[in-house]
Structure 1
């Protein structure tokens, strides 16, 4: 009987251990000479896969982190549905892709300090800007909403949209194009992204960006056990703020002034 109990206890311990996120320590990152950053590549202006070359605000910050640490940067492709799973499997050290700081994610991992405040807001065709003046105007039968699965945009839509038709797009990058072509009426997204697309495409508008439906912050995602890495990331972010580097990148990529 004792052998059976011991075997069962071992099985339980293995199962519990499997559920913990694997974290490379800061020392391991430094000793291997490589910082692995997970990014989706589908969220302008933070992370954009441009024909195999990643661009955007978070990519620029990731390069700065690697330079400060004296290591090479390796960008790891992840996705919104697999974001947490890839982190737990140790595929990357830091998630940097315009990731919202949420309690749900914090329960399983840890975040850096916030670096951009934003809220959920609609991106619509410029010709329909006055038509959608509230969430109630959007949640109507006959309205089509484009959403990318696996992230906080989909979570917001599921919680707040009951009458409009929801159309899933595997690529987040395809939705603004669909709105501009009026294949869908609305994209619910972060105000930073909505303002970015409205600034670069005259066919698009973000009419409610100054009064978003929610308030939140973006942060950089790390494993639950990566305490020293988190401290170091926060320290590097503070240094970038003090030296004006963060403000320069926000102006260049986000069209934001500090």
Structure 2
């Protein structure tokens, strides 16, 4: 019996040495933890104007950055912005943040891994091209042809759309979403498929670029905020805050500032 007990202790000790538990940060504890901490941690990519932008000096701006500050102000806490990428958005949310903000589309895949707020903006995929080439790409069928170069940023819903819908065009991955449209302007690519909200903002600032299918986008989508599980109480608070901002003029003023028009869900 003594020998058997010694063997069991030795086996247990060996197991704990060879398979250490990974160090994982806990997900958000919810509204009470945010209030106790005095900060709300917001994950954002910083590369998707007009929703979120982080300049080379580290300064943040954008519609959803302004919304994050309004949210924190009404909570009575401080915003801590956490840089992330589209590919690591959900993982970073569930290990480093309380909420993710910055033009995030509602998808069923993300909904399996995190909580969504109520939507605040209706959107859909369309195409942005050089204005000189507008007549070449009036429809998705005309875009999905051999020889057409479609540029895409990796890890987000643009890449998912291209994978699902483009079978003949050449899809070219470009890593920097802040400068990706330079590929179209320079002639290195012909088309980018992205959200109508981004296209409207970009073409208003660059006369060389035009949008196609803006009034009849290829898909239907909505923008919302992602909340780390299992923070259902924080999700409920954010939904109530969104409802107020959509009706007290806060969101309307920001929408007018960034889009030149009031947009909604």
Task: Give me the TM-score of the superposition, normalised by structure 2.
Answer: 0.88
1:150 aligned to 147, 152, 155, which one? 155
Q: Is 1:196 matched with 2:176? A: no
Distance, in Å, in 2 between the alignment partners of 1:21 and 1:169 is 33
Distance, in Å, in 1 between the alignment partners of 2:241 and 2:187 is 42
Corresponding residue for 1:14? Answer: none
Q: Is 1:68 matched with 2:69? A: no
Distance, in Å, in 1 between the alignment partners of 2:30 and 2:168 is 47
Contact 2:27-2:97 within 8 A present in 1 as well = no
Q: Quote the RMSD (CA, aligned, Å).
A: 2.3
Distance, in Å, in 1 between the alignment partners of 2:101 and 2:262 is 21
1:123, distance to aligned residue in structure 2 (A)? 0.6
Distance, in Å, in 2 between the alignment partners of 1:127 and 1:109 is 42
Distance, in Å, in 1 between the alignment partners of 2:80 and 2:196 is 29
Corresponding residue for 2:61? Answer: 55
Distance, in Å, in 2 between the alignment partners of 1:40 and 1:159 is 23
- Structure 2: gaps of 5 or more residues: 1-7, 17-22
Structure 1 residues 66 and 20, CA gap change in structure 2 (3 angstroms): closer
Corresponding residue for 1:242? Answer: 247
Instruction: After superposition, give the CA deviation of every residue in 1:20-69 in whole Å (9 maximum; x if it has no partner).
Output: 97222211111111111000000011001123111100000000001111
Task: Give me the TM-score of the superposition, normalised by structure 1.
Answer: 0.91
Structure of greater Rg: 2
Distance, in Å, in 1 between the alignment partners of 2:238 and 2:262 is 22
1:221, distance to aligned residue in structure 2 (A)? 0.3
Q: Aligned residue pairs: how many? A: 249
- Structure 1: gaps of 5 or more residues: 12-17
Corresponding residue for 2:132? Answer: 127
